[in-house]
Every structure is written in C-alpha cells, then in structure tokens.
C-alpha cells in the first residue's frame, strides 16, 4: 500500500512515478478522501475533548448540589453529533482504504519506462540454445511415448488445466522439488510448509486482493471463507502479519514448496498447451524480510540462488529486468529468469524475483524495532520463484531429448531417482 504521508508531502512526485507503471493513475480521490477524513477526525476529537470538559463540569456541579439540567442537555447534543461524525468517519475510512489499496507500488526510478514486455532489458544470459541434428519434439509429443503426464484423466477429474503426473513424471517432479529445496537450504533459507488455504486479509496483505479477486479460487460456505493460494508468497508474507520483528533477526530468509492455484482465465493459447499454463502447478518459493537498506543486496542474492538451480540443470536461460508496465502490482523492481523452450521456439519465465520495498509490509503491518532509534519501521519484503516446476519440466524434456524419443536426466537429479539416467518409453500406461 502507498504511504499516505508521502502522498501528502509529495503528491506530484508520487503520481509521476506511478504513471510510469500505470499511465492513467490519478491520486486525486485518495487525496480528497484523506483531507475529508482528517477534517472529520479533527472535529470528532475536538467534540470529545469538549464533552469531557463538560462531563467534569457536570460532576463538579453535582458535588455542589447545583442544577445540571442545562449542562446535561448540552452534553447530549454533543453525544448525538459525535455519534453522527463517528459513523461518517467509519464510512470515510473504508472508502479511503479501498481507494488507496487500488494503486500499485511505485517503481524504482532506474526502471525502464514502457508498457511493452518486448522492451524488457537483457542483463545477461547463460549457456547456449540447444542445437538438434534431428527433428526435435515438444513435450506433448515426447509424452506420447514416455507417458509422464495424463492430461485426459486430469480433465476427467477436474477439467482442462489440471494435469495428472504419473510414474516417472511424478518421480521427476519430486526430484526437481527436492533438488531445489536442497540448493536453497544450502544458501541459508529456512524451510516452511504452509497451508494451501489462506484468509482474505492475508491475500490482501500480499497485494492479491482486491485487484486480482477474479484470478483466485475460493472456498466459501457457511463455515469458511478461504482462498487457495496462488503462490506461497502470500503464505510466507502472512507468517508475520501484524508483527514487530527484532532488528537482530533480520534478514529472514524463508522458502516453501507448495502447489499453486490460479484461474488464468482466457490466457492459454495454442502454444501454451500441456504444462505451459495450468490451473495448478508446483513451485518452490523464496521470501525475505529485511531492513530497507539491505533489500537490494538481498534481491541480488535471491536471483543468484535461482540461477544456481538453472545452471546445475544445464539449461540455457536469460536474465531480464522488467520494464515498468510489465512488473507485478506489488513490485518496485523485478527480474525474470527465462528458459529457452525449443518446442515453443521462445523463452518462458521460470522465475520472477521482486523487491516489493515496504508495499506489502504496510498492507500487512509488518515492522521491526530499530535499536538505534527505538522506533518501529516497516520492513522490506522480497519474493522469488525458486523455481516453478511446470515450465522447468518442459525445458528439461525438450532440451535433453534424443533422436529416439528418450530424454537424458541431468546429473544433479539422478541421485533423487535411484541413479536412473534416462527417461525411456513407458508401455505400462493403462
């Protein structure tokens, strides 16, 4: 959430920065509601102070045995006006909260301004595109003989976009997850296992609500109003919802594997079949809480942890700094890692690492106590895919295929598969 104190002091500058991300942004409604709300609060506080003085006066008159009829009537008129203004304040606070919550985080000044993802800036790349001396296949064509996934039975169970992993497909998926978890633990991340369902206020805190309400799956009945998590980012951020952290404990480096659930309504096209875009996918998520002055260094270390995984798998990828219009709602800076997928003839994001500065912390009321000043300050939060497995699986299959339709398994995954080095035709499919 934006800092209203900053808007009061530097409204023009905040609008200028926000327009780099959302050209049509307008903070006039926020500013007007804030002005009106402060006027009402000031009036209520003045009336309550006057009423308190009047109450003391009534008490003094009663102790002296004097008539208090007129004073009581005056006090009652104050009480009625206070009740009216209290109600007006509550209505205004909700309107103000809803209005300021609509606006995204401010992008950092050095981010390239553009609404076109084609303008994202290449930072570096690693490895080279795989060259094939035979007609290569995409992951769906490879799956016809390998039978790693059963899309038909997944559709029977839940509809399109809900795949079933089978046999070596399931084992390879778990090998990937375990390999990634091991890398992050080595790099100092604490592992968590959060629930797959989350409360609305936790989703709001991470920036998923209200803007992305239509992208969420909900469980809503007489006993529960919960959401399936779109990413473990919301859960890990929510662990310290409305808490004050100790400065000496920062930074906190967390990591969790979870399934993730997203509607992705109308997003899939002909080239995004199979594992490219699904309603449910697996992901290992990194999440950090830091002091403001440490967040950029931590941001780079998170990118390095994700890159280490890709390099261990031997996959060619590129690192891209996103332009202002391609960043997420909550991000102030984002770097994507994109793996080359031969079957799609394009790069696809497998990791997105973002510095959200104090945006999520303000929505979630996550602070730390600065030892030097003894004052509470908002933390900075950072999140990053470390990594999402579905497109990563596509990259492994398509880049490691052989002419006979088999697929070589990267050496780093073989210990998790009992030493198996190659995926071969599976004729056990029912």
Tokens representing 329 are: 């709602």
Tokens representing 221 are: 């009945």
Buried b or exposed e, range 124-160, using 16+ CB within 10 angstroms: eeeeeebeeeeebbbbbbbbebbbbbbbeebeeeeee
Residue 381: count of CB within 10 angstroms of its CB: 30
- Residue 163: is it exposed, middle or buried by C-beta count within 10 angstroms (0-12/13-18/19+)? buried
- The domain spans of the chain are 28-101, 117-423
pLDDT digits (tens, 9 = 90+) for 71-109: 777 777 778 889 899 999 999 999 999 999 999 999 999
Residue from 151, 216, 181 nearest 389 by CA = 181
In angstroms, the first-to-last Cα distance of the chain is 52
The angle at the Cα of 263, spanning 259 to 267, to the nearest 5 degrees, equals 120
Q: Which phi and psi (to 5°) does residue 174 adopt?
A: -70, -35
Residue 144: partners with Cβ closer than 8 Å, 6 or more residues away = none
For the entire predicted model, the pTM comes to 0.92
Q: In whole angstroms, what is the distance from residue 18 CA to residue 24 CA?
A: 9
Residue from 368, 381, 231, 183 nearest 298 by CA = 381
Number of H helices, E strands in the chain: 11, 18
Give the DSSP per-residue string, 188-224.
TPEEE---SEE-HHHHHHHT-TTTTGGG--EEESSS-
Cβ(394)–Cβ(383) below 8 Å? no
Q: Which sign does the torsion angle of CA 151, 152, 158, 164 carry? A: negative
Q: What pLDDT, on a 0 to 100 scale, did the predictor assign at position 267?
A: 46
pLDDT digits (tens, 9 = 90+) for 411-427: 999 999 999 999 999 76
DSSP at 401: B
Q: Which sign does the torsion angle of CA 279, 284, 288, 293 carry? A: negative
Q: What pLDDT, on a 0 to 100 scale, did the predictor assign at position 429?
A: 57
| CATH, domain 28-101, list 3.30.559.10, 3.30.70.20, 1.10.260.40, 1.10.287.40 | 1.10.287.40
Q: What pLDDT, on a 0 to 100 scale, did the predictor assign at position 77?
A: 78
Q: What fold is seen in the domain 117-423? A: BirA Bifunctional Protein; domain 2 (3.30.930)
Q: Given its phi and psi angles, is residue 205 left (phi above 0), alpha (psi -120 to 50 degrees) or beta? A: alpha
- Residue 192: is it exposed, middle or buried by C-beta count within 10 angstroms (0-12/13-18/19+)? middle
Q: Are strands 218-220 and 243-246 parallel, antiparallel or unpaired?
A: unpaired
Q: Spell out the per-residue pLDDT of the chain, length 430, in tens.
A: 999 999 999 999 999 999 999 999 999 999 999 999 999 999 999 988 888 887 788 787 778 877 777 777 777 777 888 989 999 999 999 999 999 999 999 999 999 999 999 999 999 999 999 999 999 999 999 999 999 999 999 999 999 889 999 999 999 999 999 999 999 999 999 999 999 999 999 999 999 998 889 999 999 888 999 999 999 999 999 999 999 999 999 999 999 999 999 987 544 455 568 899 899 999 999 999 999 999 999 999 999 999 999 999 999 999 999 999 999 999 999 999 999 999 999 999 999 999 999 999 999 999 999 999 999 999 999 999 999 999 999 999 999 999 999 999 999 999 999 999 999 997 665 6
Q: What pLDDT, on a 0 to 100 scale, did the predictor assign at position 266?
A: 46
DSSP at 248: G
Q: Given its phi and psi angles, is residue 314 left (phi above 0), alpha (psi -120 to 50 degrees) or beta? A: left
Q: Are strands 190-192 and 252-261 parallel, antiparallel or unpaired?
A: parallel
Cα distances (Å, whole numbers) of residue 102 to 26, 116, 178, 347: 11, 22, 38, 31
Residue from 305, 302, 279, 278 nearest 289 by CA = 302
Cβ(125)–Cβ(316) below 8 Å? yes
Q: In whole angstroms, what is the distance from residue 428 CA to residue 425 CA?
A: 9
Helix (H) or strand (E) holding 179: helix 168-186
Cβ(360)–Cβ(336) below 8 Å? no
């Amino acid at each position: 959430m934006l800092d209203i104190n900053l808007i009061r002091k530097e409204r023009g500058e905040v609008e200028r920065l926000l327009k780099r991300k959302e050209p049509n942004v307008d903070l006039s409604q926020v500013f007007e509601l804030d002005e009106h709300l402060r006027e009402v609060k000031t009036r209520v506080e003045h009336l309550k102070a006057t009423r308190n003085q009047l109450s003391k006066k009534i008490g003094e008159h009663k102790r002296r045995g004097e008539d208090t009829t007129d004073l009581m009537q005056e006090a009652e008129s104050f009480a009625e006006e206070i009740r009216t203004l209290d109600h007006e304040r509550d209505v205004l606070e909700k309107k103000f909260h809803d209005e300021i919550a609509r606006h995204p985080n401010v992008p950092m000044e050095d981010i390239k301004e553009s609404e076109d993802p084609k303008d994202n800036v290449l930072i570096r790349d690693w490895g080279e595109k795989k060259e094939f001396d035979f007609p290569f296949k995409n992951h769906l064509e490879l799956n016809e003989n390998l039978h790693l996934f059963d899309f038909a039975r997944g559709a029977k169970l839940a509809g399109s976009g809900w795949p079933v992993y089978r046999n070596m497909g399931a084992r390879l998926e778990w090998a990937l997850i375990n390999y990634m978890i091991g890398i992050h633990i080595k790099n100092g991340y604490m592992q968590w296992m959060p629930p797959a369902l989350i409360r609305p206020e936790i989703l709001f805190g991470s920036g998923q609500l209200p803007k992305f309400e239509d992208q969420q799956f909900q469980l809503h009945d007489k006993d529960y109003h919960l959401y399936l998590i779109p990413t473990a980012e919301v859960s890990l951020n929510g662990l310290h919802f409305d808490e004050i952290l100790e400065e000496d404990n920062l930074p906190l480096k967390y990591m969790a594997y979870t399934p993730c659930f997203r509607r992705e309504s109308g997003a899939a096209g002909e080239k995004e079949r199979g594992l490219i875009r699904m309603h449910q996918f697996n992901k290992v998520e990194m999440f950090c809480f830091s002091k403001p002055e440490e967040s950029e260094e931590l941001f780079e270390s998170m990118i390095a942890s994700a890159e280490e995984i890709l390099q261990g798998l031997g996959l060619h990828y590129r690192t891209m700094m996103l332009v202002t219009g391609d960043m997420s709602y909550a991000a102030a800076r984002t770097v994507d890692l994109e793996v080359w997928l031969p079957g799609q003839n394009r790069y696809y994001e497998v990791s997105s690492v973002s510095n959200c500065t104090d945006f999520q912390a303000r929505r979630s009321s996550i602070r730390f106590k600065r030892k030097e000043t003894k004052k509470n300050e908002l933390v900075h939060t950072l999140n990053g895919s470390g990594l999402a497995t579905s497109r990563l699986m596509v990259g492994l299959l398509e880049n490691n295929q052989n002419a006979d339709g088999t697929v070589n398994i990267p050496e780093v995954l073989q210990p998790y598969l009992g030493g198996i080095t190659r995926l071969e035709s599976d004729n056990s499919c029912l």
